[in-house]
A and B are shown apart, each in its own frame.
Chain A
Amino acid sequence: MLSTNLIVLIPLLPLISFLLIALVGRKNFPNLCGALGTIALLTSFLLAATVAYDYFFVAGKVNGIYQQMVPMKIKWLEFSPNVSIDLGILLDPISVMMLVIVTFISLMVHFYSLGYMKGEERYATYYSFLGLFTFSMLGLVISSNIFQIYMFWELVGVSSFLLIGYYFDKPSAVAAAKKAFIVTRFADLGFLIGILVLAYYSGTLDFQTLITRLTTPTDQLHAITTASFLGASALTWGLLLVFMGGAGKSAMLPLHIWLPDAMEGPTPVSALIHAATMVVAGVFLVARLFPVFSISCPSALQVVTWVGASSSLFAAIIACTQTDIKRVLAYSTMSQIGYMMFALGVSGYGGEHGLGYMASMFHLFTHAMFKALLFLGAGAVIHYVHSNEMKDMGGLRKLMPVTHITFLVACLAIAGIPPFAGFFSKEEILQAAFHANTTIFVIAICTAAITAFYMFRLYFNIFWNKEYHAVSHVHDDHAAHDDHHDHGEGPFTMKLPLMILGLLSIVAGFLPFAHLVTSDGKPLETEFHITFSIAPVLLATGGILLAMVFYKKENPRPQAIANGLKGLYTAAYHKFYIDEVYLFFTKKVLFNLVGRPAAWIDKNIVDGTMNLLAFITEQTSYLIKRMQSGRVQSYAAYFFAGVIGFVLVFIYWWK
């Protein structure tokens, strides 16, 4: 096994790159910062790849089962003798897989950005933020402690905030960054309370101990799975609250509203954070706690299933109506993550039953490849036409051949056409769903067809449809670039990642994934049923053909259909008005009914009481101060009045 020091370097190198660039590089050698970050990431990736090779093929297995290893653990903060936050490294199939995915995609994005972000004013800052994000994400996936994961979870959130708000002088970017942070923060509130609940009942924060304690049948476990609060057991509450955090980060219904807006960030950032890595953190979290979900709390897993399935269909429908290409991709990401979620939801634990778990992780892996490719391809297109809108594009296939081919590969992969990567993982998910729940299976297969349709709607609109005419650019990521249209398809640094990812999107599906990543560490034998695949592939092909009929050449059919489905189309176009509901609740209800009254009460009632006290004191002193006038006559008058008064009192009352 690789020495611990080298494993620690995997997350630390990006952190060092962040610190170095932020503190020194930004001022002194801004133009070298990109190279610096890229080299750090390259080293990190090579180390991660070595760890993965070692783990999967050399040292990870004992008696044919992949083990969980904790090569490092440092006590960071102790709450009580048994409950402490330890910073540690937990290696098991999913964390090792995530190490590879995160470092690899991040490396691709670093490299791609060398060209894409060239000439930006805050080029160095951009790379420092990328380093910060990569560090946080790597820390997240290797966490050995549930509180550690929460810490890195928050750090990931803030780096996402910084990167979405990268163009901070654009009000829309600032708004999007705020929205992303606040919505996920709200979800994290659930996560935090969930941690408190789980830690209270298991008496630990350490993942391994926690999972063992919450899956071993004891009296205590029995007590917390049966005692009910508002109709659900304590454990269910804990897990659901933790899942709320995961749903927020993974943009699941109804906490998804931040993801489409997050596309305000630079496109490579969307590829890294909002497609391949951060948004799958929720899936990863459920997978991390999967034994507890599956063995002790199937009802919570049901919720995961339905949230995942509904998000996947819902997002797919919206994606068909969006015209901003990045937003289409954002909704497609949401839809695919929904896929991963419900695959976990329908899965059981161990052996054959764990098919869904394996499929979910497999899909996470392939999705990272082709979705990063789609975003980077979209970035190249946006770089070229200086617009995010489909209407400004069309006929780009001859002008951008590399982008065109790789984009097509990615579209085929996501549509699930054999032999591209997405086909294999999707098949496994569909099989798992088929064996578990017919309704879910129907939703899944419909989503697959819609996915194929909207992805090719996107593809044809960009690369076919009408001839390309340069337009004046409104939505411009690249105000700094004046040399548009003569720069060709983009520099080599942008094309190379596209080609690498394109290649992987073709071959990644052939990986013997079931032998490597399973719910219990034992290799799983999966069978490939050609008969089962016919229906999904046919449906996907149907979707593609439909898209071809509508969008390959400019024609009035799409408009006619949109008019025909008027109500549904408008609703989907406006994202089913969920944003408006939230806005109403926050602006109108929270601000007007809680915030304003609180400020008013404070100013008028609480402070008013204080001022009233002061006022009464002042008035009283004003009234009695005239008694101290210094005139002897009035003192004498007071004196005699007093004497008479007392005399009267003594005579009449004091008997």
Chain B
Amino acid sequence: MINLSILLIIPLLSALAVIFAGAKSARMVALLGALAQLGYSSYMMLSYMGERAAGNTNQMLYQTKMSWFAPMNIEYFVGVDGLSIAMIMLTAVVVLTGILISWNVDKMPKEFFFLLLLLSLGAYGFFISLDLFTMFFFLEVAVIPKFLLIGVWGSGRKEYSAMKLALMLMAGSALVLVGLLCLYFNTNVNGAHTFDLLQISKMHIPIEAQRFIFPLMFVGFGIFTAMFPFHTWAPDGHSSAPTAASMFLAGISMKLGGYGCLRVAAYLMPEAAHEYSWIIILLSTIAIIYGAFATLMQTDLKYINAYSSVSHCGFVIFGIGMLTKTAITGAVMQMVSHGLMTALFFGTIGMIYERTHTRQVAQLGGLLKTIPFIITVFVIAGLCSLGLPGLSGFVAEMTVFMGAWQNPDTFSRVATVLACASIVVTAVYILRTTGASVMGPIKNPDFLTFKDAAWNEKFASITLLLCILAIGVAPYWLSDLVSPDTQLIMDNISRVVGK
């Protein structure tokens, strides 16, 4: 039997163990913790699939409920469905690879790995929580370590970036908190209020309240997922962050936002989601196109990937805004796919940077000759980003497009065509980047002395590649895993808006 609390205990224990380990062995402890976590998550996924195959139709499995703060009905209430499992698996993979990539951190390694594990603890907690307050608590746990990771281990304008990121994300969570409390006071269970997500989903929140709360929640979570125009923390944050922090930021942290938008905002307030869907579509379409064009003009590899993340995460919001089952399923798949792909991208950028000490595209060139393994992985990550069939990005984007096209109104159609057009722009910036940075003649004779990937880098890249391929080659399992839950979300929406 699965106990979800173990998902929190493993990172907590490994984080504590890192503190007590020696400076040299800290990384080993962290790695073991991450491996244990991945093992347990996989075990959980398999047994979840088994339960579903055996016909278990409960909405949330493996529930645990304990009172935490009785006067306000705050509970430690956890449970998972396919959606959260997909996110947990993503987190487990990104954490493992992030630790592997930072194998050679020499500045305060203990503290570094401690913070990484703490961050993952927040993410796991967020994804399994079914109590809104507990969820918010874990969201905060996931924010603070980022500030330190960037501020201490970062590069470039790290103080500015760390501050900017922390403040913007804090503003996001402040909005979420206000929304949360408003929601709380609009609930009614036998005269008391509740934070219980499942209970709220069965209630009817007055439409006037929804109109006010939904934007707070959606924008609040939207900031996390770099929703236009609140995305500017992302480029600066990513570029200053150490490699593993970038991977966590884009691979996990941006997904916290997408998950929140879907699970909390759209699920609990379906009428408002329907009413505001045009604004969501508008903003996300802008993000997709504008992010892609902004990427075209960047010259720093990390900025390129950060802006392309804005564009790609636009698809998540776009899919949610379209409010069809297929589009929402696509949005979830895009979250997983983007998480893996961008982790791989940032990982390889980190490997390149470690060798060349520059991320400027103009100063690179011909690297394919000298470090073929890293560059091949880099190119595959790029191909995934531009939506090559057989890799995960294609599956996710196509599902979003197919779902979006089901809305027959002209506005959605135009938005979908524009979103589709981004695949061309993406191809342009990906090919320009790879063409200039890894192909062509060798720019700098120093490049000839580089060593190709070490074992930890290979391990990390191959793990991520395998996940990307597993989704890209056989997407059925992922869409099967999440689509019953997106169906439930859709049911909630169709119940009230009769769609």
Tell me if B405 and A200 are in contact (CB < 8 A).
yes
B49 at the interface (CB under 8 A from A): no
Most interface-central of B325, B394, B427, B441 (chain A CB within 10 A): B427
| Cα distance, A640 to B420, chains bound together (Å) | 67
Contact assessment for B440 and A171 in the assembled complex, using a CB-CB cutoff below 8 Å: yes
Q: In the complex, identify which listed stretch (B97-105, B290-298, B347-355) lies at the interface while the others stay far away.
A: B290-298
A191-223 with Cβ < 8 A to chain B? 192-193, 196, 199-200
Verify B232–A196 contact, CB threshold 8 A: no
Instruction: Give the residue of A169, A200, A591, A599 whose beta carbon is less than 8 angstroms from that of B369.
Output: A169
- The docked-state distance in angstroms from the alpha carbon of A76 to that of B476 is 6
Closest beta carbon of chain B to A618's beta carbon, Å = 11
B421 at the interface (CB under 8 A from A): yes
> Cβ of B394 and Cβ of A154 under 8 Å apart?
yes
- Are B435 and A174 in contact, CB atoms less than 8 angstroms apart? yes
- Flag A61-95 by CB within 8 Å of B: 1 or 0 each: 00000000000000111111001000000000000
**B41 at interface, CB cutoff 8 A:** no
Q: Which residues of chain B in 382-406 are interfacial with respect to chain A, using CB atoms and an 8 Å cutoff?
A: 383, 386-390, 394-395, 398-399, 401-403, 405-406
Kindly report which residue of chain B lies nearest to residue A150, judged by CB atoms.
B389
Which of A75, A155, A158 contacts B476 (CB under 8 A)?
A: A75
Given that A196-B402, A591-B296, A595-B297 are known contacts, is A77 also in contact with B476, CB under 8 Å in the complex? yes
> Contacts A154-B389, A175-B435, A594-B293; is A186 near B476 (CB within 8 Å)?
no
Closest B residue to A78 using CB positions: B479
In the complex, identify which listed stretch (A32-40, A250-258, A606-614) lies at the interface while the others stay far away.
A606-614
Contact with A along B398-429 (1 / 0, CB 8 A): 11011101101000000011001101100110
B66 to chain A, nearest CB (A): 39
Q: How far is the CA of A197 from the CA of B498 in the complex (A)?
A: 25
Q: Is A151 an interface residue (CB 8 A)?
A: yes
Interchain CB contact under 8 A, B296 and A189: no
Let me know if A181 and B297 touch, CB within 8 A.
no
The answer on a CB contact under 8 Å between B420 and A192 is: yes
B389 with A165: CB separation less than 8 A: no
Q: Are A182 and B389 in contact (CB under 8 A)?
A: no
Tell me which of B231, B298, B368, B387 contacts A168 (CB under 8 A): B368
- Give the Cβ gap from B399 to chain A, nearest Cβ, in Å: 7
In Å, the complex CA distance between A55 and B345 comes to 47
Residue A598, interface by CB 8 Å: yes
Docked-complex contact A77 and B432, CB < 8 angstroms:
no
Q: In the complex the two chains form, is B439's CB within 8 Å of A169's CB?
A: yes
Closest to A606 in B: B229
Do A185 and B293 touch (CB < 8 A)? no
Bound complex: CA A151 to CA B168 (Å): 40
Say yes or no: B427 contacts A174, CB within 8 Å. Answer: no
Which residues of chain B (347-387) have a CB below 8 Å from chain A?
366, 368-369, 383, 386-387
With A174-B439, A193-B420, A196-B401 as known contacts, state yes or no: A598 contacts B293, CB within 8 Å. Answer: yes
Residue of A171, A186, A193 near B417 (CB, 8 A) is A193
Which B321-338 residues sit within 8 Å CB-CB of chain A?
325-326
How far, in whole Å, are A192 and B369 apart by their CA atoms in the complex?
A: 35
In the complex, A476 has a CB within 8 A of chain B: no
Check A189 against B435 for contact (C-beta < 8 Å). Answer: no
Contacting pair B403 A79 (CB below 8 A)? yes
Whether the Cβ atoms of A168 and B440 lie closer than 8 Å is: yes
Q: Does B164 contact A (CB under 8 A)?
A: yes
Contact A78 B476 (CB under 8 A): yes
Closest to A599 in B: B297
For residue A331, CB closer than 8 A to chain B, the reply is no
**A375 → chain B, closest Cβ, in Å?**
25
Docked complex Cα distance between A599 and B476 (Å): 38
Instruction: Output the nearest chain A residue to B442 by Cβ-Cβ distance.
Output: A169
A192 touches B232 (CB 8 A): no
A602→B297 CA distance, assembly (Å)? 11
**B residues in contact with A171, CB < 8 Å:** 440-441
B420 touches A80 (CB 8 A): no
- Is B496 close to A, CB under 8 A? no
Contact residues on A (Cβ < 8 Å of other chain), bracket:
35 or more
Could you tell me if B167 and A165 are in contact, using CB atoms closer than 8 angstroms? Answer: no
Q: Tell whether, in the assembled complex, residue A80 and residue B431 are in contact, meaning their CB atoms are under 8 Å apart.
A: no
| Chain A nearest CB, measured from B479 CB (Å) | 6
In the bound complex, residues from chain A placing their C-beta under 8 Å from that of B388 are: 154-155, 158
Given contacts A169-B439, A196-B401, contact A77 B475 (CB under 8 A): yes
Chain A residues with Cβ below 8 Å from B401 are 192, 196
CA distance A75 to B164 in the complex (A): 47
Return the chain B residue nearest A605 by Cβ.
B229
Cβ-neighbour of B424 out of A152, A174, A186, A594 (below 8 A): A186
- Give the Cβ gap from B205 to chain A, nearest Cβ, in Å: 29
In the complex, whether A147 has a CB less than 8 A from a CB of chain B is: yes
**Taking the complex as formed, is A178 at the interface, i.e. its CB lies under 8 A from any CB of chain B?**
yes
- A387-B1 Cα distance, complex, nearest whole Å: 71
Contact A189 B424 (CB under 8 A): yes
A168 to B368, CA, bound (A): 9
Check if A168 sits within 8 Å of B297, measured CB to CB: no
List residues 278-302 of chain A with CB under 8 A from any CB of chain B: none
Nearest CB on B from A611, distance (A): 8
Q: Does A596 contact B (CB under 8 A)?
A: yes
Proximity bits, B435-477, A CB within 8 Å = 1, else 0: 1000111100000000000000000000000000000001110
Q: In the complex the two chains form, is A598's CB within 8 Å of B476's CB?
A: no
Whether A192 touches B423, Cβ cut-off 8 Å, given contacts A199-B402, A595-B296, A610-B232, is: yes
Q: CA–CA, A177 to B439, complex, Å?
A: 11
| A485 and B278 alpha carbons, distance in the complex (Å) | 70
Interface string of B219-234 (1 = CB under 8 A from A): 0000000001101100
Considering the chains assembled together, what is the distance between the CA atoms of A598 and B287 in angstroms? 11
| A181 in contact with B389 (CB, 8 Å) | no
Contact indicator B432/A178 (Cβ below 8 Å): yes
Contacts of A598 in B (CB 8 A): 290, 293-294, 296-297
Is B440's CB under 8 angstroms from A151's CB?
Answer: no
- Contact status of A155 and B168, CB under 8 A, knowing A185-B423, A199-B402: no
Residues of A within 8 A of B474 (CB): 76
What is the CA–CA distance of A77 and B337 in the complex, to the nearest angstrom? Answer: 15
Chain A residues whose C-beta falls within 8 Å of the C-beta of B421 in the assembled complex: 189
As a 0/1 sequence over residues 228 to 262 of chain B, the CB contacts with chain A under 8 angstroms (1 = contact) are 11011000000000000000000000000000000
Specify which of B296, B398, B423 is in contact with A147 (CB 8 Å cutoff). Answer: B398
* Contact across chains for B439 and A165 when beta carbons are under 8 A apart: yes
Chain B: which residue is nearest A597 at the CB level? B293
Interface residues of A in 600-648 (CB under 8 A from B): 602, 606-607, 609-610, 614
Assess whether B424 is in contact with A80, with CB atoms less than 8 Å apart. Answer: no
Q: Give min CB distance, B200 to chain A, whole Å.
A: 28
- A158: B residues at CB distance < 8 A: 383, 388
Residues of chain A contacted by B441 (CB below 8 angstroms) = 169, 171
- Smallest Cβ distance from B23 to chain A, in angstroms? 36
Most chain A CB within a 10 A radius of its CB, from B298, B402, B435: B402
Given the interface pairs A154-B389, A602-B232, the reply to whether A181 lies near B475 with Cβ below 8 Å is: no
The 8 closest A-B pairs by CB, nearest first: A151-B389, A599-B297, A598-B293, A607-B232, A168-B439, A196-B405, A185-B427, A595-B296
* 22 A-B pairs (CB sep. < 8 Å): A76-B476, A77-B476, A77-B479, A79-B403, A83-B402, A151-B389, A151-B390, A155-B388, A155-B390, A171-B440, A171-B441, A174-B440, A181-B431, A182-B431, A196-B402, A591-B296, A594-B293, A598-B290, A602-B294, A602-B307, A606-B232, A607-B232
Residues of A within 8 A of B (CB): 75-80, 83, 147, 150-152, 154-155, 158, 161, 165, 168-169, 171, 174-175, 177-178, 181-182, 185-186, 188-189, 192-193, 196, 199-200, 591, 594-596, 598-599, 602, 606-607, 609-610, 614
Interface residue ranges, B against A (CB under 8 Å): 164, 167-168, 228-229, 231-232, 290, 293-294, 296-298, 307, 325-326, 366, 368-369, 383, 386-390, 394-395, 398-399, 401-403, 405-406, 408, 416-417, 420-421, 423-424, 427-428, 431-432, 435, 439-442, 474-476, 479, 483
Known contacts A177-B435, A610-B232, then 11 further A-B pairs from the complex at CB < 8 Å, ordered by chain A residue: A155-B388, A161-B431, A171-B441, A174-B439, A177-B431, A185-B427, A193-B417, A199-B405, A599-B297, A602-B232, A606-B229
